[in-house]
Structure 1
Amino acid sequence: MQTIYPRRFGRYVLVEVLGLGGMGEVSLALHGPRRQPRLCVVKRLFADCRGDAVVEERFRREGELVARLSHPGLPRTFEVGICDGERFIAQEFIAGRDLGQVMASCASGGTRLPVPLALHIVIRVAETLAYVHDVGGWGVVHRDVSPSNVRLSWQGDVKLIDFGVARLSVQAGLTITGQSVGRPMYMAPELLAGGQATRATDVYALGAGLWEMLAGRPYVDSQADSLAHLNSEVPEGVV
């Protein structure tokens, strides 16, 4: 998808590309009164993904999910719909940096996140996960809890973003052939062994992120390391 910026997209004016995901493009956009427009982000499917039934269904599900969710730890969703034949999701723009960027900056300077800050972040994300896991009696499994999906605003807010691979707890997930769901460094061993994503695997991912914040390195460096946890012997005296 090559877009000339700025351009009008329905009631929005797309200003610039913020990022490219597995299914689509995320753009910074303006909407609202011309004299006092509000910044937001608009996520659209890639042109070459339109017509792919699995991808379109995943994007549609993502829109349905985020439209149902309302929590201080999540970006607000303004609109989910179709414009000029393109599915889109419009959400609150969170000015700041993602946790992965902050951790990388710390690492380049030879430091780690202060323990109080790391604990503050993980507590906020845990509170958000507690909400999404039980919302409406059906619950949502995020399936990609990782530093790049934790947004830290300049005002100090902590937001969990990107429900593109999330699923309802009661539904089977949609996985694109050849594409893994989640990031191996934060995936629970049972997922890498072919198991199903659950609330517990989201919590594992959050714990792996906390470890990385405190230790300054990933909890596991490879898929093999993570799978080894399934078969490691319990030290004598632990149980």
Structure 2
Amino acid sequence: MRKIILLIFGLFCAAGMDAAAQDVITRRNGEDIKAVIVEVTDDAIKYKRENLPDGPLFTISKADVLMVTYSDGSRDVFADYMPGGQAPAPAAYAEAPANLRPGMKYRELLQYYDYRDYRNFRGYERFSPALAGLCSFLIPGMGQMISGEPGRGLGYLGGSAACYVTFVLSCVSASGTGAPYYATTLALVSGIGFVVVNVSSIVDAVRVAKVKNMYYSDLDNLAFNVDLTPYVDLAYAGAAGVQPVAGLSLRLSF
């Protein structure tokens, strides 16, 4: 009787072990690990192997795991997991905006492009962001002008010139006798404005160059030429013999 009880107890233990060992860890290389999941942390999974339930505790990084299938059939997928909890960066230029057209201005392009995506840019640089920033450092607005935005550049140049002239006139007025009470304040405000406009011009010039480079790269990828050429040829028309035939030749160049 005691042997029967021990046998039944052993069967129950074995069944319990089988039920507990239904978790499957699928690695990114396709390998399946049959395991007992002990703990899932923010960046790792701790488990014991199916055939070693009393053995050592293993740890695997979530970056190496594609998914985990639990004994109840539920799954956790870690395909998009990145170390540090960061989501993977979206692919840049997977598809160019469909409604691009030649001659678009920077303010229009802002709804399609973000200068921050330029770190993924692999196309031809028509405009140098570094050169644009340097030009705007020397002459406010010049970087925008050489990047195909003359109107925007003239705006920065005019703003900088206005602040500078106001600053000089205010300083001259404040240094004289009987100077207006507002001369010192106006000089301070215009001086700060001059610095702000110049710094903004440098930053903006770099962004304009980056956005325009992305725009022209996508525009070149979308561009194609259509050549429609009339022609006259001779065609065999059976009993009627050879007759002249007119037509059009269409050629597409991508």
Same fold (TM over 0.5): no
Structure (1 or 2) with the larger CA radius of gyration: 2
Question: Which bin holds the TM-score, normalised by the shorter protein?
Answer: under 0.3
Structure 1 length-normalised TM: 0.22
Structure 2 length-normalised TM: 0.21
Between structures 1 and 2, the one with greater helix share: 2
